[in-house]
Amino acid sequence: MRLLCMDAPLLLEFLLKDIKPEYALSLFAQCQKFAMLDGIMTPEEV
């Protein structure tokens, strides 16, 4: 497990490699929820 540093965040591609399969669906649902908070879905959020 990598430690997160807000001053130098890791690229998403690196973080995705560390996700355990049993948590993937829950993580996806949370990300989708955050993306829809403002009511606008940008191409990056879809």
Number of domains comprising the chain: 1
Whether 12 is covered by a domain: the verdict is no
Q: CB within 8 A of 44, min separation 6: which ones?
A: none
Residue 14 lies in a domain: no
**Per-residue pLDDT tens over the stretch 30-46:** 988 988 899 888 887 77
pLDDT, tens digit, 9 for 90 and up, residues 1-41: 556 666 777 787 888 888 899 999 998 899 889 888 998 88
Give the separation between CA 35 and CA 8, rounded to whole angstroms.
Answer: 22
How far, in Å, CA of 14 to CA of 5, rounded?
A: 14
The answer to whether position 38 is within a domain reads: yes
Q: Which domain holds residue 41?
A: 20-46
Establish if 10 belongs to a structural domain: no
CA distance 10 to 4: 7
27 alpha carbon, distance to own chain's centre: 7
Q: Is residue 3 part of a domain?
A: no
Q: CA of 15: how far to CAs of 7, 34, 37, 38, in Å? A: 16, 18, 23, 25
Q: Has residue 1 been placed in a domain?
A: no
